[in-house]
Amino acid sequence: MLTKGPAKKVTIFLNEDARHHLTPLHDAILTFLLRKGVAGATSTRAFAGFGAHQVLHTPRIELQAEHLPIRIEFIESPEKVDEVLPTLYEMVADGLIEVQNTTVVKHARKSSHPEPKLPHTRKEGTAKILRIYIGEADKWRGEPLYDAIVKKLRVLDIAGATVYRGILGYGAKGHEHKKSLLQVSRDLPVMISVIDTAEKITAAAQAVEDMLEDGLIVVSDAGVVRLVRSKSQAEASSATPTTS
């Protein structure tokens, strides 16, 4: 199995019409690599190209469309490449085989039989909701105000924030803001919603108030029911520190 570390990349160049016995060569090569347990291989069909025969193959020329270049590439351990290379050498009678040294930085794949998750944990309590109503065109030091507010909330270690973009609305000035097919409003209503503890919401409201020139801040009580996915047994064991 392919693992992190030194490896070899093999690239095979051939024509689409190349055959191996009665089978297209590129299909025969992929079947062989699959049978030999190669981690994975990719076959791609080029749009145009030419090779040692100095003939340009392109789909615009009907007679040469069937001769378009095929590129097969796979990465494997040096031992596996040494195992399959002699057979590939014999199969490719007209083409090019290139082998390069490379390094696998990460090789990850999802398990075909994932470990079942443990039941969710239900947490219930009280919190505060902070809602900030502004206009999409509002600015703060040259950047959109809603973007600046979200960044500020992250600095304050707020648990999370969601920005909602309205499609229609009006505010204290009585101006209607809407989006239509004929006219795109550049000042649609925006609402930022935050839920956290009372202490954090108080600090966030004060920080946001200093950033607003025209807007509305609303703070209200909330009951919170939070469902937290429990860690699987493997995740829990890996997160548990070991002692010697």
Residue 39 domain boundaries: 5-104
Q: For residues 125 and 27, state if they share a domain.
A: no
pLDDT 10s digits, 104-128? 988 777 666 666 666 777 778 889 9
Q: Flag whether pLDDT at 52 surpasses 80.
A: no
Instruction: Give the phi and the psi of residue 212 in degrees, each rounded to 5.
Output: -90, 135
Q: Flag whether pLDDT at 219 surpasses 70.
A: yes
Give strand pairing partners of 218: 131
Question: What is the dihedral angle through the alpha carbons of 136, 138, 142, 146, rounded to the nearest 10 degrees?
Answer: -60
pLDDT at position 178: 55
Q: Which of 148, 150, 144 minimizes the C-alpha distance to 187?
A: 144
Q: For residues 135 and 64, state if they share a domain.
A: no
Q: Flag whether pLDDT at 88 surpasses 90.
A: yes
Assess if residue 236 is contained within a domain. no
Q: For residues 100 and 130, state if they share a domain.
A: no
Three-state SS for 208?
helix
Find the range with the poorest average confidence among 26-35, 102-111, 195-204: 102-111
Assess if residue 162 is contained within a domain. yes
Q: For residues 126 and 222, state if they share a domain.
A: yes
Q: For residues 142 and 206, state if they share a domain.
A: yes
Q: For residues 76 and 156, state if they share a domain.
A: no
Full-prediction pTM beyond 0.75? no
Q: For residues 75 and 157, state if they share a domain.
A: no
Angle subtended at Cα 166 by Cα 164 and Cα 169, rounded to the nearest 5 degrees? 140
Assess if residue 238 is contained within a domain. no
Q: For residues 221 and 135, state if they share a domain.
A: yes
Q: For residues 49 and 139, state if they share a domain.
A: no
* Structural domain count, the chain: 2
Q: For residues 75 and 126, state if they share a domain.
A: no
Q: Looking at residue 12, which CATH number applies to its domain? A: 3.30.70.120
